[in-house]
Amino acid sequence: MARHRFEPTRYSNVLATLEPVLAVADGDTVVTTTLDAAGRDRDGVQRAPRGNPMTGPFFVEGAEPGDALLVRIDRMTPIRATGWTFSVLAPNVVEPGAVARLPERREVEWAIDPQAGTARLADAGRELTVPLAPMIGCFGVAPRQGQAISTATSGEHGGNMDYRRFAPGTTAGFPVAVPGALFFLGDGHACQGDGEIVGTGIETAFEIEFTARLRKQAGFGWPRGETETDIFTVGNARPLDQALQHATTEMLRWLGQDFGLDATAASHLLGQAVRYDVANVFNPAYSVACRLAKRWLTRPEGTAGGLEGTG
């Protein structure tokens, strides 16, 4: 269970089978840094092209296609005193007839105060202060079949899901498609509402600590996650309807695999207890999470936590 400190010197704007930056073992912890979505570092220096440049990939020893990579987000510390957002709702989240009434989009700067735990914006004669709620906007593994998928979008491999529950304390799970999994991360947000409807969270540079584990032959089809209270699956597609279909189908699979619920039992439970989160409704693929409180779930005797399954 080694603890690695890794300072990136190159970044990638695709998730792909690239030369690893570091090899880690199952159970190891990594402390590293990420650029903001625009490619700027802790000092505001442009270090990579815009569009969610990634730190990584990290090679996880022993990871094989069919396994799941489990990444616990141990800590996210903003390392710059400023973050930025766009100033206006994205045109695709309002009625087409209302688009022409939106003002033009600008980039605005927030002051981040880690001591106070807040981000503060002064813009257009008003102030707004929000509590820091760090999350990872874009992370995931190398996709299958030699694809190199832009960090603008997302898919079965993860990617730019912009889901606010991918936050410290959450364990994320990804279906491994290539040997070593090849894990990438970046695009940290100091805060973000549902849907990422202005097209950004509060974009800034982070120090992130995470722990990687493997679950062998796990049968994941889409990203999954586990918080202190909930399990969730994430579907990535347009329209939202299809993203929701993927997430729901993956939840059915999970409830069957690990909790012994057939389609009928899972339907009864989800019908009364499911929660859906609109993670993002901005990126080329939208993301919807299908979420269920863990108190509804009973695991067979002697088995581990949600994402770790019954192994």
* 85-124: contacts with its own copies (CB under 8 A): 85-103, 108, 119, 121, 123-124
Q: Residue 172 contacts by C-beta under 8 Å, 6 or more apart in sequence?
A: 70, 71, 72, 73, 139, 158, 166, 223, 224, 225
Site string for its own copies, 248-267 (x = CB under 8 A): xx--x---------xxxxxx
Residues 27 to 56 in contact with its own copies, rule: CB under 8 A? 49, 51
Question: Is the CB of residue 160 less than 8 Å from the CB of residue 138?
Answer: yes
Sheet with 171-175, edge to edge strand ranges? 3-6, 29-34, 206-215, 68-78, 171-175, 224-226, 230-237, 286-293, 275-280
Which residue, 31 or 93, is less far from its own copies as judged by CB? 93
The SS3 assignment for 96 reads: helix
Question: Token pair of 141, please?
Answer: 């593994």
Q: Which of 11, 16, 76, 225 binds its own copies (CB under 8 A)?
A: 16
Number of residues that bind its own copies (CB under 8 A): 82
Q: Which of 13, 55, 154, 236 binds its own copies (CB under 8 A)?
A: 13
Residues 275 to 294 in contact with its own copies, rule: CB under 8 A? 275-278, 281, 286, 288
Q: Rounded distance, CA 145 to CA 135, Å?
A: 29
Q: Residue 15 contacts by C-beta under 8 Å, 6 or more apart in sequence?
A: 54, 57, 140, 141, 142, 143, 148, 149, 151, 157, 158, 159, 182, 184
Q: Is residue 272 part of the contact set for its own copies (CB under 8 A)? A: yes
Q: Which of 126, 228, 295, 301 binds its own copies (CB under 8 A)?
A: 126
CB of 263 to its own copies, least distance (A): 6
CB of 290 to its own copies, least distance (A): 9
CB of 63 to its own copies, least distance (A): 21
Nearest-10 crossing angle of helices 263-273, 240-259: 120
Which of the ranges 3-11, 21-29, 171-179, 269-277 carries the binding residues for its own copies, by CB under 8 A?
A: 269-277
Residues 184 to 243 in contact with its own copies, rule: CB under 8 A? 191-198, 200-202, 237-242
Q: Is residue 10 part of the contact set for its own copies (CB under 8 A)? A: no
Q: Is residue 23 part of the contact set for its own copies (CB under 8 A)? A: no
Which residue, 90 or 307, is less far from its own copies as judged by CB? 90
Which residue, 234 or 288, is less far from its own copies as judged by CB? 288
Question: Is the CB of residue 30 less than 8 Å from the CB of residue 163?
Answer: no
Strands (E), 178-295: 183-189, 206-215, 224-226, 230-237, 275-280, 286-293
Which residue, 16 or 138, is less far from its own copies as judged by CB? 16
Question: Is the CB of residue 197 less than 8 Å from the CB of residue 231?
Answer: no
Which residue, 40 or 164, is less far from its own copies as judged by CB? 164
